[in-house]
């Protein structure tokens, strides 16, 4: 069994682009400044909604730390739009993440358990804090919806990294 190569800490963030709800696109590698990208499983995931709700509640903390926030999934536009309409998240939502893009990010990819769950392969959770140079400063990739980083800790950490000019960790090969 083979797995996609994992994205290394300190690597340049891959040049992926996904459509953004409401128009335009989300292109984390092209954006400047500090940015946080959260990859979520999609509309079918009952654990994603509260996690993204927590992210929304912490949006001001991330903004105060100078970090822009976005979330993306493999969902088609209509599913992403339905979740956005129901939950009202204030950060940009991207949709249509492809399998090659998931692989470029080093994400775990799952097939649906049934047609009732969803109709396409989807990414398991991932979180990336990208620094102004476009390098992956923090990375967290999970193979299941039950293991995700504490978002309040990520917000505090992003601020601390900037205050201390803290280096990218985990780069020894």
117-154 pLDDT per residue, tens: 777 899 999 999 999 999 999 999 999 999 999 999 99
Residue 26, token pair as written in the block: 């989300």
Q: Which residues pair with 110 in a beta bridge?
A: 122
CA distance 152 to 118: 30
* Domain assignments of the chain as residue spans, ordered by start: 34-164
Residue 13, token pair as written in the block: 């963030």
Instruction: Kindly indicate whether the domain formed by 34-164 is annotated with CATH number 3.40.30.10.
Output: yes
pTM equals: 0.94
The tens digit of pLDDT for each residue in 34-48 reads: 999 999 999 999 999
The tens digit of pLDDT for each residue in 66-81 reads: 999 999 999 999 999 9
How does residue 4 score in pLDDT terms, banded at 50, 70 and 90? low
Q: Which residues pair with 53 in a beta bridge?
A: none
Q: Return the higher-pLDDT residue of 173 and 49.
A: 49
Check: CB of residue 164 under 8 Å from CB of residue 72.
no
- pLDDT of 1: 44
């Amino acid at each position: 069994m083979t797995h996609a190569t994992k994205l290394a800490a300190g690597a340049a963030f891959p040049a992926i682009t996904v459509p953004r709800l409401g128009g335009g696109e989300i292109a984390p590698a092209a954006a400047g400044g500090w940015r946080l990208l959260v990859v979520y499983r999609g509309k079918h995931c009952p654990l994603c909604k509260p996690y993204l709700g927590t992210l929304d509640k912490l949006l001001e903390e991330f903004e105060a730390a100078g970090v822009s926030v976005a979330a993306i999934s493999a969902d088609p536009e209509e599913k992403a739009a339905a979740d956005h309409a129901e939950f009202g998240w204030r950060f940009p939502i991207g949709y249509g993440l492809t399998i090659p893009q998931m692989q470029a990010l080093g994400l775990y990819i799952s097939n649906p358990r049934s047609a009732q769950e969803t109709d396409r392969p989807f990414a398991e959770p991932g979180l990336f804090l990208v620094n102004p140079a476009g390098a992956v400063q923090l990375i967290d990739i999970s193979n299941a919806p039950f293991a995700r980083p504490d978002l309040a800790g990520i917000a505090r950490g992003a601020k601390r990294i900037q205050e201390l000019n803290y280096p990218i960790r985990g780069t020894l090969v």
